[in-house]
Amino acid sequence: MPTKIDKYPKDSSDPSIVSETIIQPSTIENIDFAMFEYLDDQLNLFTDTNKGFKKTPVTWISSERAHQVKNKRELRDSNGSLILPIITVERTDISKDPARKGIFQANIPPINDYRGGSITINKRINQDKTANFANADALRRMNVNDASGGSRHDRRGQINFPNPKQNKIVYQTMSIPLPVYIDVEYKITLKQNTNNK
C-alpha cells in the first residue's frame, strides 16, 4: 500500500504532484551503467567454487591501471593474481544505423520555444492558469449582466461562480526530443578455471 510519504515526495511541496518519476537521459554512460547493472544485479550470477556457492564478480574492462590494482582487492589473491571465475564487460562498438528509424519515420521539428522537444508524451492541467481564465470569464459575465440590469443574483454575487461551459483550460505539456536509435555492442567474457562444466 502506498503511504502518504510515497504519494507526496519529500522534495516536493506542490500537493498537485502525485508522484514523480525521474527519467535518466540515455547517454552512453547511462547505457553502460544499465548494461553493467543488468549483469551484476539483475542476472546476479552465482557459481560453485572450492570456497562454496559464490557470486561471480562483474568488472568493467579498461579502467586505469592504478584503479584495477587497488580497487576491489577481493578480486585478487595475495600475489596479485585474479581469482576466477570472473565476468568482464567491454563496450566494443557504437553505430548509428540510418535504416533503424523506429516509429518516427521522418524528422519532427521541435516546438518553437526555448525548451524544444518534438514529441508530446504527457500533459496535465495547469490549475492556476485555468482558474485565472475561469475567474476572468465569470467576472466579465457578472459585469455585463450588471450593466444590462441583469442577473447578478444568478451568480449569487460570486465572481468565481462555476461556469459549466468553461472551455479555456491551460495544459502543461511535456515533450521529448526526437529519439536517436543506436546499436551498442558489448563483449561479455566469462573466465573460469576449468572447462569441465
Residues 63, 84, 45, 183, Cα dihedral to 10°? 40
By C-beta, is 58 or 134 nearer to other proteins?
58
- What are the strands, taking DSSP E only, across 58-118? 58-60, 86-95
Binding status of residue 81 toward other proteins by CB under 8 A: no
Q: Half-sphere exposure of 13 toward its Cβ, with a 13 Å CA cutoff?
A: 0
Residues 25-44 that bind other proteins (CB under 8 A): 29, 32-33, 36
CB 94 within 8 A of CB 146: no
Q: Is 64 in the site for other proteins (CB under 8 A)?
A: yes
Min dist CB 67 to other proteins, Å, is 4
63 sits near other proteins (criterion: CB under 8 A) = yes
CB 106 within 8 Å of CB 79: no
Contact status: 95 vs other proteins (CB under 8 A) = no
Beta carbon of residue 38, minimum distance to other proteins (angstroms, whole number)? 13
Interface with other proteins: number of residues (CB under 8 A): 15
Stretch in the footprint of other proteins (CB under 8 A) among 57-65, 94-102, 111-119, 186-194? 57-65
Stretch that binds other proteins, among 1-9, 15-23, 65-73, 145-153 (CB under 8 A): 65-73
Q: E-strand spans in the chain?
A: 46-49, 52-55, 58-60, 86-95, 119-125, 171-176, 183-191
Q: Cα(76)–Cα(84) distance, rounded to whole angstroms?
A: 9
Q: Nearer to other proteins by C-beta: 34 or 108?
A: 34
Figure out which of the listed residues 62, 92, 95, 196 binds other proteins, where binding follows CB under 8 A.
62
38/124 Cα distance (integer angstroms): 33
Which residues would be at the binding site for other proteins (CB under 8 A)?
Answer: 29, 32-33, 36, 60, 62-71
